[in-house]
Amino acid sequence: MTTTTNSLHIGLLRSPNFGALWLAQVASRLGDPITLIALAYVSYAQTRSALITALAVVMATVPNALFGLFGGAIADVIGHRRAMIWCDLARLVLIGMVPVAIRLGLPLGVPYFLVFAAASCGAIFNPARLALVPRIVHPSDLAGANALTYSSDRAVEVVGALVAGVLVATIGESAFYVDATTFLVSALLLTRLNVTERMKRLIPRSIAQEASEGLRFLWRHGVLRANTVLSLVCQLSVPVVASLAPSLIFQRYANGNPEVGASLFGIAEGAIAVGAVGSGILLAPRLDRFPKGRLLLTGFAIYGLLLVALALAPSFEFAAALFAITGVVNVVFYVPNVTLSQELTPPELRARVFGARIALLNISWLPIIILSGALADAVGVSLLIAAAGLVTFAAALVGAFIPLVRDVP
């Protein structure tokens, strides 16, 4: 079975089209943590303000919530491959200008604007990438391709964070140049994709109408509507854990020691990546044997229970094992979720539908992040993580009684 699994991944990577797309996303993802960490470094170095430094994260993440819906529409209009190349080239220029602005002594708002603009390009790039995959792989390989993409994303994010830390510590704001180079590499790789695309005329005033078509399709398609609503509710726990896991580790396992806590948090992130990569390589290609609806519900239910267990974990070793298992389970619910949308959405609407889903997900996460952060000191980190896990488990349990969710083949 392992030989069959490995053969599937090797076959996908040997495909000129998918291989180029996979390498491009690896290069692009590798640079993302560099900008985030470098911007936080520059912010703190100039202002010594925790609030201003926190804005670095906002500048890099909010655009997906604000522009994801319109980004998908733009990608559908101009072509998925073409949109990705243009986005990479735009990010090459924008990120490359950040250290120039810093060295010219321009106000900090200028680098923030440049990073915000670059992150807005990601709101076009990401739905375009998801929409392009089913055009370049065989339908029977779609689940495996999505799993390989997800697991490599997680691994590259961790490696990128480690590389970013070293770069920022050694060359400071010049690290932005390294990130800019990753976008150039990605763009060059994407030019190797052999796909036929027809570019429609991009009329700014029609973008809202184009975007609304994706939302209307998502709402009118019973299965996709039910899947989207369930996924949004089940994934409300994700931002809670993402924002509170560092505090949990620092408080419970590091006894408030920031150096020890940082080290343990890095191990936890690595454990999640190892679980995701292992699941993507060994487990995900077998997932297409199971009905997507039941697989999705099972994944969410297990994830919810894992969060409850994490909130109660008596030792860091036990918590690290749970983090690794969550990496495995993330693949279990991510792959059928994405594959389902790819299969049920017409090619000309795919980026718009993915853009809408990404936007809705990020919009739902923003208030949860703020609320969980505000409540953490009052009610405790562990209680909030456990409550988030119970919400996810309960939502999966309710979904088991909804045919449009449960009975998807």
Three-state secondary structure along 121-162?
HHHHHHHHHHHHHHHHCCHHHHHHHHHHHHHHHHHHHHHHHH
Length of the chain: 409
Whether the Cβ atoms of residue 118 and residue 95 lie closer than 8 Å to each other: yes
Reported as a single tens digit per residue, the pLDDT across 110-162 is 998 999 999 899 999 999 999 999 999 888 888 888 888 888 887 887 788 77
Mean pLDDT, rounded, for 360-371: 83
pLDDT(401) > 70? yes
Greater confidence (186 vs 13) lies with: 186
Are 264 and 134 in contact by the 8 Å Cβ rule? The answer is no
Q: For the chain, what are the domain ranges?
A: 2-404
Average pLDDT, the chain: 86
CB 94 within 8 A of CB 117: yes
Tell me the pLDDT tens digit for each residue of 207-255.
888 888 888 999 999 999 999 999 999 999 998 888 788 788 888 998 8
What residues have CB less than 8 Å from 48, skipping those under 6 apart?
A: none
* Predicted pLDDT at 3: 45
- Using alpha carbons only, what angle is made at residue 89 by residues 361 and 355, rounded to the nearest 5 degrees? 20
User: Quick one: pLDDT at residue 396?
Assistant: 97
CATH superfamily membership of 2-404: MFS general substrate transporter like domains (1.20.1250.20)
Q: What is the pTM of this model?
A: 0.83
Buried b (16+ CB within 10 A) or exposed e, 115-136: bbbbbbbbbbbbbbbbbbbbbb
Q: What is the pLDDT of residues 289-303, one digit of tens each?
A: 889 999 999 999 999
Q: Considering only CA atoms, which of 368, 354, 227 is closest in space to residue 291?
A: 227
pLDDT digit string, tens, across residues 62-96: 787 778 778 999 999 889 999 999 999 999 999 99
